[in-house]
Chain A
Amino acid sequence: DVKVTQSSRYLVKRTGEKVFLECVQDMDHENMFWYRQDPGLGLRLIYFSYDVKMKEKGDIPEGYSVSREKKERFSLILESASTNQTSMYLCASRTTGEPGFNEQYFGPGTRLTVT
Chain B
Amino acid sequence: GNSVTQMEGPVTLSEEAFLTINCTYTATGYPSLFWYVQYPGEGLQLLLKATKADDKGSNKGFEATYRKETTSFHLEKGSVQVSDSAVYFCALSGGYSTLTFGKGTMLLVSP
Interface residues of chain A, those whose CB is within 8 Å of chain B, are 4, 31, 33, 40-45, 48, 50, 56, 58, 90, 92, 94, 100-109
Interface residues of chain B, those whose CB is within 8 Å of chain A, are 30, 32, 34, 36, 41-46, 49, 51-52, 89, 93, 96-99, 101-104
* Given contact pairs A45-B98, A103-B46, A106-B36, a sample of 13 additional A-B residue pairs in the complex whose CB atoms are under 8 Å apart: A40-B103, A42-B89, A42-B103, A43-B44, A48-B98, A50-B96, A92-B44, A100-B32, A100-B93, A102-B93, A104-B99, A105-B46, A107-B43
Min CB–CB distance A31 → chain B (angstroms): 5
Contact B98 A90 (CB under 8 A): no
Given contacts A42-B102, A103-B49, contact A109 B97 (CB under 8 A): no
